[in-house]
Chains A and B, each alone.
Chain A
Amino acid sequence: MTELPPQRRGVPIYIQIIIWVFLAALLVIVALGLKRAQQGTVQPGQKIDNFSLTLFSGYEYEGKTSVNISELRGKVVVINFWASWCKPCEQEAADLKQAWEFYEPSGKVVFIGADYVDTEPEARVYLKKFGITFPNGPDLATKISQYFRIKGVPETYFVDKNGVLQYVQIGPFTSLEQIQGIIDPLIAE
């Protein structure tokens, strides 16, 4: 009797399934990572999730030491990311200050300054230097900037009364009129 040539034995079906699921999961993880890396900033039309910003002493919002974005529904919210070491931020500081002074009495617009990876003493010097008085605080552990996926500073996000992001300004504003041109239609909605 002669032995037959060896035959291949099949892998149990459950192992095959696990292997393919494992490989598919790896591919999905890589794909999601690539997609997120290419996404850029949060896009207009997206509803902004709630977040809380701890505010510097002297820059509170209605006497509160932190501000929740969800509490500002019904108002146009302008979120400005800045840093004291950021030279382009200085270009727009005066325009932002004027814009805040223009809209603050109406109570329809809230400006929030998120100080990005900065030191408090230098941030305070900056705020004082440009006479900025709207609520400002450090973006602790860069959680807010990570949520918005900012690419640098300055960047400004305009959220409408319903909490939906409507406009993103990358880089500094060039004039007060430019800021007004974005905010006025959002108030009128």
Chain B
Amino acid sequence: MRSTSYRFPLAVLIAFALVLIINFMVSSQGSAPTDDEVNKIAKQLYCPVCESTPLDVCPTEACRQWREVIRTMLAEGKSEAEIKQHFVTQYGVRVLNVPPNPWATYFVPGVVILLGALFLARGFQLWMKPGRTAAAPVKAEAELVPQDDYVAKMEEELKKRK
């Protein structure tokens, strides 16, 4: 009699515990990552085999496998940075659509090219710049008078017209 009185509350407790466990398992598992979530990361990665094809639009079997890797890692709770780092470790930095250090990748070569161009421009400017030679002899005005008769006549005519 006494044992049966315990049965009902015990069953309720077990059922309650089961519900809690199932709920915990479901919530800890989380919902499966959507295609949009997968593609958001895939878009930032390039297929390591195909030429210049982002992973989100790449139709090959290999790319499908890599998208599944992203999905699995997202489901495991990995962050975007962790997933991208995994791809870099596995396949090299070339899989990233933006290099890991854009400053060093774009800025430094840009500055070097700019400095080189300025240097070259300055060099050519110096080359082309007209100068005077102090030691050059000064020619007499008479020497500069045109010797050609025809030109002399023309200049004389012009002077008369003035």
- Does A8 have its Cβ within 8 Å of any Cβ on chain B? yes
| Interface segment out of the listed B15-23, B35-43, B61-69 | B61-69
B69 contacts A119, C-beta separation under 8 Å: yes
- Asked whether B126 lies within 8 Å of A140 as measured between CB atoms, the reply is no
Which chain B residues border A140 with CB–CB below 8 Å?
Answer: 89-90
Whether B133 lies near A117 (C-beta < 8 A) is no
State which of A9-17, A61-69, A88-96, A102-110 sits at the interface with chain B. Answer: A9-17
| Residue of B with least CB distance to A87 | B61
For chain B, which range describes its interface: under 10, 10 to 19, 20 to 34, or 35 or more residues?
Answer: 20 to 34
Task: Give the interface residue-count category, chain A.
Answer: 20 to 34
> Which applies to chain B's interface (DSSP): helix, strand, loop or mixed?
helix
Contact (Cβ within 8 A) B65 A6 = no
Task: Tell me the complex Cα distance, A146–B126, Å.
Answer: 46
In contact, A85 and B60 (Cβ under 8 angstroms): yes
B65 adjacent to A119 (CB under 8 Å): yes
- Interface flag for B129 (CB, 8 Å): yes
Number of A-B contacts (CB under 8 A): 78
- Give Cα distance in the complex from A42 to B129, angstroms: 52
A11 and B128 CA atoms in complex are apart in Å by 9
Judged by a CB distance under 8 angstroms, whether B139 is at the interface is yes
User: What is the CA–CA distance of A120 and B154 in the complex, to the nearest angstrom?
Assistant: 94
Closest Cβ–Cβ distance, residue A19 to chain B (whole Å): 5
Interface residues in A74-88 by Cβ distance below 8 A to B read: 83-85
- A10 CA to B131 CA, complexed, in Å: 9
Tell me which of B26-34, B97-105, B116-124 binds A. Answer: B116-124
Most buried by A among B60, B132, B139: B132
Bound-complex Cα distance A7 to B127 (A) = 11
| Contact call A6/B88, Cβ cutoff below 8 A | no
A118 to B126, CA, bound (A): 57
Q: Which residues of A contact B139 (CB under 8 A)?
A: 2, 4
B128 to chain A, nearest CB (A): 7
B129 engages A122 (CB within 8 Å) = no
| A133 and B60 alpha carbons, distance in the complex (Å) | 28
List the A side residues contacting B90 at CB < 8 Å: 117, 138, 140-141
| 1/0 contact string of A134-165 vs chain B (CB within 8 Å) | 00001011110010000000000000000000
Across the A-B interface, give the 10 residue pairs with the lowest CB-CB distance, nearest first. A6-B130, A9-B131, A85-B62, A141-B92, A117-B48, A11-B127, A119-B65, A11-B126, A142-B92, A85-B61
Binding site for A on B (CB under 8 A): 48-49, 60-62, 65-66, 68-69, 88-93, 116, 119-120, 122-123, 126-133, 136, 138-139, 141, 144
Given A6-B132, A7-B131, A117-B62, 16 more pairs with CB closer than 8 A: A2-B138, A4-B139, A6-B130, A7-B130, A7-B132, A8-B127, A8-B130, A11-B127, A12-B126, A15-B123, A15-B126, A18-B119, A19-B120, A117-B91, A118-B62, A141-B91
